[in-house]
Amino acid sequence: MKKALLIILSIIIYLFVLWLLVLISIGINFAVFERGTGGITALGSIISFWLSYKFVKWLWKKYFYPTKP
């Protein structure tokens, strides 16, 4: 049961970080080109998938895996 809750929590964290990074890339695109669509948004969205995965993987490695004494 605990592992299932951790997996659900990881999915929620992944989606939150993903949308946060996508919004940052859209904000940068608005600042540069004054519109929400473009290359920076596309590249930022692709990078957001990878960075969100890496962040959740780091959280699992740091907090969820049992440590050896």
pTM: 0.79
Predicted confidence (pLDDT) per residue in 4-38, tens digit: 888 899 999 999 999 999 999 888 888 888 877 77
Number of domains in the chain: 1
Please check whether residue 69 lies inside any domain of the structure: no
Q: Is residue 42 part of a domain?
A: yes
Q: 67: pLDDT confidence band, cut at 50, 70 and 90? A: low
Residue 23 lies in a domain: yes
**Residue ranges making up the domain that contains 8:** 2-64
DSSP the chain: -HHHHHHHHHHHHHHHHHHHHHHHHHHHHHHHHSSS-SHHHHHHHHHHHHHHHHHHHHHIIIIISPPP-
pLDDT at 69 (0 to 100): 60
**Which pLDDT score is estimated for 29?**
86
Assess if residue 29 is contained within a domain: yes
Q: What is the pLDDT of residue 68?
A: 64
